[in-house]
């Protein structure tokens, strides 16, 4: 069974569209994260949720909004997509804050 | 501002020999360090970690060394195996802060 699963794996869309990426973890972890890996291969944190509360939000445009319906899910909604949003987005979870992260397999977003 | 640096984009090692991957950090508040391994089209997988109160942690073929005065850590893999070919990310966290700061990764290639 996949511990952290995210869908879709690939997402190709046009500028200006709105899209969502879903993430689910079955590890019973308390904290979930979204990371972005850009063209320079850096993995940068975007958001984390702990018990349904946003606990960090790095300098991410407000076009990006995380939604957590429950502890096992953290979805990422992106409005008005821009070319620069093209990247691989990874969902992750951890038992507690700062314990090792378990990552999903990523969603490659391409904005044309 | 790269707080975690992996200065070698790639490293080629013969099968059976020792692989040494290096990582430097600048933030003196970091107190927990991790190594992740990533195969293409998959998410990073946690490999090994070390707390700042230790200078060495060993797990099978993998050993992480921490030199706090030099703000340097390294991952030793011995003996190297073909399945070790992957991108290795160094990551760090600070007490009280959320999320991990990642390096850019080193692509390890194990040659037969």
Read off the pLDDT of residues B42-67 as tens digits, 9 standing for 90 and up: 999 999 999 999 999 999 999 999 99
Residue A85: φ, ψ to 5°: -80, -10
pLDDT at A102 over 70: yes
Q: Given A50, A98, A105, which is nearest B43 (Cβ)?
A: A105
Tens digits of residue pLDDT in A30-71:
899 999 998 888 899 998 888 767 876 768 898 999 998 888
Considering only CB atoms, B93 lies closest to which of A42, A44, A98, namely A98
Pair A92, A36: CB distance under 8 Å? no
For tokens 């700062």, name the residue: A98
Cβ separation B102–A43 shorter than 8 A? yes
Q: Which of A89, A10, A82 is nearest to A47 (CA)?
A: A89
């Amino acid at each position: 069974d996949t511990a952290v699963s995210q869908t879709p794996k690939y997402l190709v869309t046009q500028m200006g569209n709105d899209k969502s990426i879903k993430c689910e973890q079955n590890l019973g972890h308390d904290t979930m994260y979204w990371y972005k890996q850009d063209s320079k291969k850096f993995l940068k944190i975007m958001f984390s949720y702990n018990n349904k509360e946003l606990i960090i939000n790095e300098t991410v445009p407000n076009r990006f909004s995380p939604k957590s319906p429950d502890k096992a899910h953290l979805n990422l909604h992106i409005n008005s997509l821009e070319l620069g949003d093209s990247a691989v987005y990874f969902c992750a979870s951890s038992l507690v804050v700062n314990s090792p992260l378990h990552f999903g397999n990523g969603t490659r977003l391409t904005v044309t | 501002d790269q707080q975690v640096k992996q200065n070698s984009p790639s490293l080629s090692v013969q099968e059976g020999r020792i692989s040494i991957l290096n990582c430097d950090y600048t933030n003196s508040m970091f107190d927990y360090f991790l190594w992740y391994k990533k195969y293409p089209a998959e998410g990073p997988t946690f490999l090994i970690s070390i707390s700042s109160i230790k200078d060495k942690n060993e797990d099978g073929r993998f050993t992480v060394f921490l030199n706090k005065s030099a703000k340097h850590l390294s991952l030793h893999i011995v003996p190297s195996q073909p399945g070790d070919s992957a991108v290795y990310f160094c990551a760090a966290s600070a007490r009280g802060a959320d999320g991990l700061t990642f390096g850019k990764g080193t692509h390890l290639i194990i040659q037969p």
